[in-house]
Amino acid sequence: MKRVKKAAKWTGIVFAGAFALIALLLLDRFSAARHAAPQIQGEKEIASPLGSGVTLSAPVTILRDKNAVPHIEAQSEKDALFALGYAHGQDRLWQMELLRRVGTGRLAEVFGPPALSIDRFFRTLGFAHLADDTYAALPGRMKELLDAYAAGVNASMSGRDKPLPLEFQLLFHEPEPWEPRHSLVMVKMLELGLSANAFDEIARARLARDLPPTSFQEFFGVEEELAPFLVGELGKLFQKAPLTKTARAWPDLGPIGASNNWVVNGEHTKSGKPLLANDPHLGMLAPSLWYLVHLQNPVEGETRNLVGATIPGIPSVLLGRNDRIAWGLTNTRPDSQDLYIERLNPDNPDEYETPDGFTAFKVREEHIKVRFGSDEVLSVRATRHGPVLPEETVAGAPSLEEGHVLALSWPALEPGDLTVAAGYKMSRAENFTGFLEALRDDYVSPMQSIVYGDIDGNIGFIAPAHIPLRGPAHRTKGLMPAEGWLRDNDWTGIIPFDALPQLYNPASGIIASANHKIVDDNYPYQLALDWNAPYRAIRIYELLEAGDDFSAQDFADMQMDNLSLFAARVLPLLLEHLPEAQKETAEGKLLAAWNHSLDAEKAAPLIYAAFLHELPKTLWADELGASFDSYKSPRSDFLLSIFEGTRPNTHWCDDTQTEETESCAAQTGKAFEAAMAGLRETYGEDPQDWTWGAAHPVINNHIPGGSLPFLKNWLSLETPSAGGIHTLNRGQYRGSGARPFANIHAAGFRAVYDFADLDSSLYMISTGQSGDPYSPFYGNLLEDWAAGRTITISTRKDVYRKGALGTLTLRPADG
C-alpha cells in the first residue's frame, strides 16, 4: 500500500510538473508574440538577389496612414508589387500560410491527422500542379511580377528582427519561403469558393432517392419531363450510396459567395459623374479576408495609382479603381461544374468506360506528411472528365454503389487557366474596350457579374468565364451527376465570349446585380439552374429608380439598408395562417406591427427569423428524411408556392408520419410555438428584452483560434449587427446550432467609387488591417463596419501623410 501511495504521489508530481512546463512554455510563446509587431518606420536594406534572381531596383516606401492602410510609392511596377508582398507578409503572414496550406493540401503537416480529409480533397483537385502549369504558361512580364511579389513576401520574413506572429508561436511552426505558385493556388482557392455548384448535384442525388418524381419536381422546380428520369433511372445508381457521409467528408466551403454591386451614370447623381458601389459577401474571418492598399508607380512617365482591396497572397487589387476606371464584382453563381458517374471495367478496376470502350485512368501519387501521425500516400485517379473524387470517406464508405466512381469536370481544372493574368490586365485598363479585351482570352473562373464605370461618364457590365455548353441530349442538364460513358453527356464547348451577358451605357443609366438571374428566358445558353432569390436586386432597383441626385454617402447608406422585401411578402401570408391566440401574443403583435426592416435594436427580426427557420421542420422534414440536413434553411420560392397557392403544393403541410392530415394553418402554428419556446428559453420570457443585434452578432472567425475555448473570445471578433439573408446589408446565418442567428457571411469589404473625385471614394473592411491580435489595428474597424461608417484612401501625398503611423523605406543593399 505504501508503494502504491508513493507511486501515486510521484505520478501526480510528474503530471503537475509536465503541466507547469507546458504552461510556462505557452506563456513564453504568448510573451514572444507580444513583440511580433512589424517595423513600419525607418529603413531596411534588402539583399539581392532574392528568390529567382529578383532584385529591388530602387528605393520604395511603404507609408501606413492613420487607418494602417499602406501607401506604396515605387519607381517601377515590379518594385511596387515587391513592396505589396512585403506589406502582406508583415501584416497577414499567418493568414497567407494557412490559405496556401489549405490549397496545396498540406494542412496535416501542421495540424496532424484531423486535417487529412481536407488535404486529400485538395490533393485530388491538384491545385499545386495546376499552379505550376499556369506559371509555365504565363507571359514573361506576369512571371516577373509574381516573382517580385514572392520575393517581397520572403524579404519580410527573412528580414524581420521580431518574433513570428502568435499562431506560429503556439503551433511551434515556421513558414517556408513563399513561391510564385502559391499566389496561383490562392487564385484557385478563390475560384473554388465561388464555383462549388457540384456539391448541389450530390445533394439533389441524395434527395432523388427519397422523393417521388412529382415531389422532386415541385421542390426544385425542374422541368416536369426531366424529374422521372432523375428520380427513377438515374436515381437507382445512388440507392445504395451513403451520400450523407460522403458529403460530410468533403470540406465545408461555407456559403457560396454572394454580393451586391450597382453603377449609375451622371444623370442620377448630384455631381453629374457616375457612382459605383460594391460589397462582396463572403465568410467572415479574423482578420478579414480583405486588405486595403494604395499602389503608386510611374508608367510611361506618368504616375499611376491603383487603390482598393487585395487578398494577401495574391499580387493584385481585386476590387477597386485606378486613375480612370473602377469595377465591382458579384458572384454570378453559374453552373460551371458537373459530376460524372464513371463505370469501372468489371474485369479491370484500373479502367473506366468511355463511349469508345474502356480506357485506363491517369494516376499520380500524392505524398502527404502528417504531424503526430503516419504519413500517407494518396493515389489520385483522373478520367477524361477530371479528377476522381475520393472513393472512401473518413468512415470508409464508398461514394457510389460498387463499380462506379465520381469525377469532377470544371474548366478551372483544365490547362490554360490564365485568370490571374486577366485580373492584372483588367485592373490596368483605361476604358471599357480595354476592360473587355483584358478578360476575353484569359479569364476562366470564377464567373463574376462585373459592373464598370469610368471618368468619362461611361458605365458597363460583363459576366466573364468559361461556362460549359451541354448538348440538347444531355441527360441531366447539369442538375445531377451524369453517366460518363454516354457521349450525349459530354460538354460541347464553352459559351462564346461575345455571347456572354454584357451592357454598355444602357438607356436607363442604371446597372445592378445581386446574384439574381441576369438574363431573360430568351437567352440561348444555360448559365445557371439555381439563381439566388431576386429580393436584393429588386430592392436596389427600387431605391435607384426613386432618386436622381445620389451622392457617394447615399450609396454607402444603401449598402446598410435593412429592409427585407421577402419578409414583406411572406410574413403576411404566415400571419394569416396563425391561430388567433398566437396572433394576440406579445410576439405575434410585434410581428404584425413590424416594418420588415431587420434593425439591430428590434425584437421583431429575431421573432421572424426564428419562425421562418422553424417552418421547414414542420413542412418538408418528413418528406426529405435523411436529406433534410441539406435543405433545412427556408427555400424562399418553394415556401411562397405553398402559402400563395401558385402551385398545388399545400400537401407538403401534411405530416407524413401521422395518420391524420395536417393543414398548413396547423403546421404554421406548430412552427410558431416551437420557435417562440426556443427564444424564451434562450433570451428570457419578455420579448421586449430581445434584440436582433444581440442574437445576430457578426462573428469574424479566427482559424484555428475560433475553435479553442480559451482563445476564441480574444482571437475571433464579434459585435452586434443588423441585416439578414434578403437585405442589402446582408447578414447570413445558419439557423441552427448553439448560435443559430450569428452573422457568419456578410460584406467583409464595402466600397463606393465617386467619379467626381475618385480620392473621395469610400471604403471599409470588417476587422482591421493587421493579422496580429496584439495590434491596435487587428479589430479597430469592427465597430465602424457594423455602424456603416467609411474611410477614404487618398492618392494625394499631402492628404495621406497627415497622421501617418510611419514610413518604411526599403533600399537595395547594393545601393
Query: What pLDDT, in 10s, does the model give residues 224-274?
Result: 666 666 666 665 555 544 334 333 444 555 556 689 999 999 999 999 999
- Any idea which residue has 529591388 for its cell? 56
> E strand or H helix at 693, and its extent?
helix 692-695
259 catalytic residue (yes or no): yes
Local structure of 664: helix, strand or coil? helix
Phi, psi (degrees; rounded to nearest 5) at 536: -70, -40
pLDDT tens for residues 299-342? Answer: 877 899 999 999 999 999 999 999 999 999 999 999 999 999 99
**Which member of 156, 183, 195, 259 is catalytic?**
259
- The pLDDT assigned to 547 comes to 87
Q: What share of the chain is helix, strand, coil (3-state, %, to 5)?
A: 40, 20, 40
Residue 116 backbone phi and psi in degrees, to 5? -65, -40
Where helices occur in 138-272 by DSSP H, the ranges are 140-158, 166-171, 180-193, 198-208, 213-220, 227-231, 243-249
In 34-139, which ranges are continuous DSSP H helix? 77-104, 108-111, 116-125, 127-137
Q: What are the C-alpha distances in Å from 548 to residues 189, 270, 418, 753? A: 40, 8, 40, 17
Q: pTM of the entire structure?
A: 0.93
| pLDDT(275) > 60 | yes
The pLDDT, as a whole number, for residue 243 is 39
Q: What angle do CA 414, 418, 424 make, to 5 degrees?
A: 160
Indicate the pLDDT class of residue 22, thresholds 50, 70 and 90: very low
Please identify which residue in the block is written with the cell numbers 507511486: 7
> pLDDT at position 207, please?
80
**Can you tell me whether residue 755 is helix, strand or coil?**
coil
Q: When comparing pLDDT for 556 and 813, which is higher?
A: 556
| The pLDDT of residue 736 | 87
| Residue 144 CB neighbour total at 10 angstroms | 17
| Per-residue confidence (pLDDT) for residue 230, from 0 to 100 | 64
Burial category of 773 from C-beta neighbours within 10 Å (exposed 0-12, middle 13-18, buried 19 and up): buried
Beta strands in 8-59 (DSSP E): 42-46
Across 38-65, average pLDDT: 86
Q: What was the pLDDT predicted at 4?
A: 54
* Mean predicted confidence (pLDDT) in 393-416: 72
Element (H, E) at 450: strand 448-454
R_g over Cα of the chain: 28
From the list 163, 147, 159, 178, the residue with the least C-alpha distance to 42 is 159
User: C-alpha grid cell for residue 693?
Assistant: 443585434
- Residue 335 is labelled as binding a ligand: yes
Please, which pLDDT band fits residue 26 given cuts at 50, 70 and 90? low
CATH class of 258-334+423-477+490-559: alpha beta
- The angle formed by the CA atoms of residues 183, 703 and 714, to the nearest 5 degrees, is 130
For residue 628, what pLDDT is reported? 87
Task: Give Cα 136 distance to the centre of its chain.
Answer: 28
Instruction: Read off the pLDDT of residues 113-159 as tens digits, 9 standing for 90 and up.
Output: 989 989 999 999 999 999 999 999 999 999 999 999 999 999 999 87
Q: What is the 3-state secondary structure (H, E, C) of 537-558?
A: HHHHHHHHCCCCCECHHHHHHH
Determine the pLDDT at residue 33.
Answer: 64
655 is in an annotated binding site: no
| DSSP per-residue letters across 395-412 | T--BSSSTTEEEEEE-GG
CA atoms within 13 A on the CB side of 607: 31
> Do 781 and 766 contact (CB within 8 A), yes or no?
yes
Cell numbers that stand for 257 in this block: 459567395
Whether 338 and 409 have beta carbons less than 8 Å apart is answered as yes
The answer to whether domain 198-252+338-409 and domain 258-334+423-477+490-559 are alike in fold is no
pLDDT band at 394 (very low <50, low <70, confident <90, very high): very low
Give the residue from 735, 519, 739 showing the smallest Cα distance to 614: 735
Asked if residue 185 has pLDDT above 60, the reply is: yes
Rounded CA separation 533/518 (Å):
12
170 pLDDT higher than 50: yes
Least confident of 327-336, 415-424, 647-656: 647-656
Question: Residue 789's pLDDT band (boundaries 50, 70, 90)?
Answer: very high
Residue 455 CA: distances (Å) to CA of 274, 321, 330, 603, 684:
8, 11, 22, 44, 55
Whether residue 748 has pLDDT greater than 80:
yes
Q: Choose the weakest-confidence range: 418-432, 435-449, 628-642, 756-770.
A: 628-642
Please name every residue paired with 389 in a beta bridge, in sequence order, or none if there are none: none
What DSSP assignment string belongs to 117-137?
Answer: HHHHHHHHHTHHHHHHHHHHH
Q: 198-252+338-409 in CATH: which number?
A: 2.30.120.10
> Taking a C-beta distance cutoff of 8 angstroms, is the pair 99, 186 a contact?
yes
pLDDT at 15 over 70: no
> What is the grid cell recorded at 32?
514572444
How deeply is 504 buried, as exposed, middle or buried, from its count of CB atoms within 10 A (0-12, 13-18, 19+)?
Answer: middle
List, for residues 555-607, the tens digit of each pLDDT value: 999 999 999 999 999 999 999 999 999 999 999 999 999 999 999 999 999 99
Tell whether 201 is in a known binding site. yes
Q: Could you tell me the sign of the dihedral formed by the alpha carbons of 721, 289, 739, 728, in that order?
A: positive
Q: Output the average pLDDT for the chain.
A: 90
Spatial CA neighbour of 179 closest among 368, 60, 315: 315
**Distance between the two ends of the chain, CA-based, in angstroms?**
77
What distance in Å separates the CA atoms of residue 759 and residue 585, rounded to the nearest whole number? 53
Instruction: Note the pLDDT of residue 501.
Output: 97
Q: Give the type of residue at 535.
A: Y
Higher local confidence (pLDDT), 6 or 101: 101
Q: pLDDT per residue over 464-503, tens digit each? A: 999 999 999 998 889 888 999 999 999 999 999 999 999 9
Burial of 587 (0-12, 13-18, 19+ CB in 10 A): buried
Domain ranges of the chain: 198-252+338-409, 258-334+423-477+490-559, 565-596+603-690
- Phi and psi angles of residue 687, each rounded to the nearest 5 degrees, phi first: -65, -15
